[in-house]
Structures are given as structure tokens and as C-alpha cells.
Amino acid sequence: MRGSMGWYPILVDVSEMSCVVIGGGAVAERKLRGLLESGAGRITVVSPAVTPWISEQVAAKSMELRLREYQEEDVQGADLVIAAASDEEVNLRAAQEAKRAGALVNSAGEYAKGSYVTPAVVRRGKLMLTVTTSGSSPALAASISKQLLEVYGPEYEEWTDRLGTLREWVQASVSDHKQRQLLLRLAAHERIGSQPAGETMTQWIARLREKADRGKE
């Protein structure tokens, strides 16, 4: 069993990955929802039975369904595999065979059998907050993520986009690296909604520069 230092946090671009989910129940559905939210381009589900939601997604061409029991050939050529069947023996076999095939593997029941774990996620547009206990207590991770949902409300989606636009403007108009970092740090520390109504990016940068100059006095 891995120790507390056995996991490296990473975000993976799944848009061009071949993703295979073994299982068709509630756990598999939750994993599939996460893949779709992350923009997964190619998803295959392998299970002799699936939930109504999964059936709807298959009908909408959001994913492919192999309506049968898992076979080793299902993980051949896959980039990412999630073993989420109700049968733990199936999950163990799928995880082992997927690892041998060179895929990233998540085992929903026995996290240590896989090569990665999926954290609880709070999404506010481009802002993504993740929480994990490295498999020790998914319930605790879920509880903390609910608290984060209250702290970081929907307004953070627009705020993150605005800060992203500011960053592009600052990178294009401010040549000094240290000053760029200072201006962006000052902007990130501002309270949401405290900016003057109708303030343009140019005006915002000018105001941040004034704030930076006052800080030197």
C-alpha cells in the first residue's frame, strides 16, 4: 500500500485520449460524468447493464457502449482506464491488464491497485479546486469540497475569466517581468465586485500601477 507521499498531483488533458470505463452502475456513471465535464473525446463503456443516464449518453453519441462482460481486449490501445464494475475481481483484472497495456488506471474500489486517483472536484469555469485524501477517506474529500462550493461561488467563474484576460493584456503591454508579476498579484487579491463599473482593461492596469506605486512610498 502506498504511503502518504506516493501520489503526484497532476491534471491531464483527456480531449484526445481513448478512455475506457469498465462498469455501468452508479460509480461508473459518476466517473463518466467527470470525463464528459473534462472534455474527453473518446469514451467507451464496457458493461452488460448500464444506468438510464449512460444509455441516454450512448444514444446521444457521447460515448460508445459494449454491452457485455469485460474482456482483456477492451483495454488494448486505451490511454486511460477506469475500473468501476460492481465485481471487484473484474476491477482487479481490468486494472492489472490495463497497466500492462500501458494505460493510466483508476480502480474505483481499491485505489492502490490503480496508477492514479480521482479527487473530489469543484468547478467554477476555468477555476478548478480538487481535494483528495489519497484514497483514505473519499467521504472527507467530498465534505471538504462541499465547503469549498460555498466559499467559492459562481461569481468566481467570471472573475477567473476576467483575470485571464487581464493577464493577456499585462503580458502584452508591460515589459518588466517583476512589474507584471506585481500587477497580476495585486489584481488577484482584489475583492470581487470592488472594481469601478465599466472599468476597461487599460484603466484597470493603470489603477493597479497606481496601487503598486503607492506601495513603494
Q: How far is residue 117 CA from its own chain's centroid?
A: 11
Classify domain 18-118 at the CATH topology level. Answer: Rossmann fold (3.40.50)
CA atoms of 136 and 179, how far apart (whole Å): 43
Model confidence pTM above 0.85:
no
pLDDT for position 5: 57
Bridge partner residues of 64 (DSSP): 44
**Cell of residue 15, nine digits:** 480531449
Q: Mean pLDDT: which of 30-39, 115-124, 134-143 is highest?
A: 30-39
Whether the Cβ atoms of residue 32 and residue 21 lie closer than 8 Å to each other: yes
Q: How high is the pLDDT of residue 2?
A: 53
For residue 143, the number of C-alpha atoms closer than 13 Å in the C-beta half-sphere is 5
Q: How far is CA 69 from CA 44, 51, 65, 78, in A?
A: 13, 15, 11, 17
**Domain range summary for the chain, segments of one domain joined by +:** 18-118, 120-153, 155-216
The overall average pLDDT reported for the chain is: 92
Cell of 165: 484576460
Each residue's pLDDT tens digit, 53-62: 999 999 999 9
Q: In the prediction, which pLDDT does 106 show?
A: 94
Give the C-alpha separation, 110 to 84, whole Å.
10
Q: What is the pLDDT of residues 62-119, one digit of tens each?
A: 999 999 999 999 999 999 999 999 999 999 999 999 999 999 999 987 777 889 888 8
In sequence order, what are the beta bridge partners of 127? 124
Average pLDDT over residues 121-139: 90
Q: Is 3.30.160 the CATH classification of the domain at 120-153? A: yes
DSSP character at residue 68: S
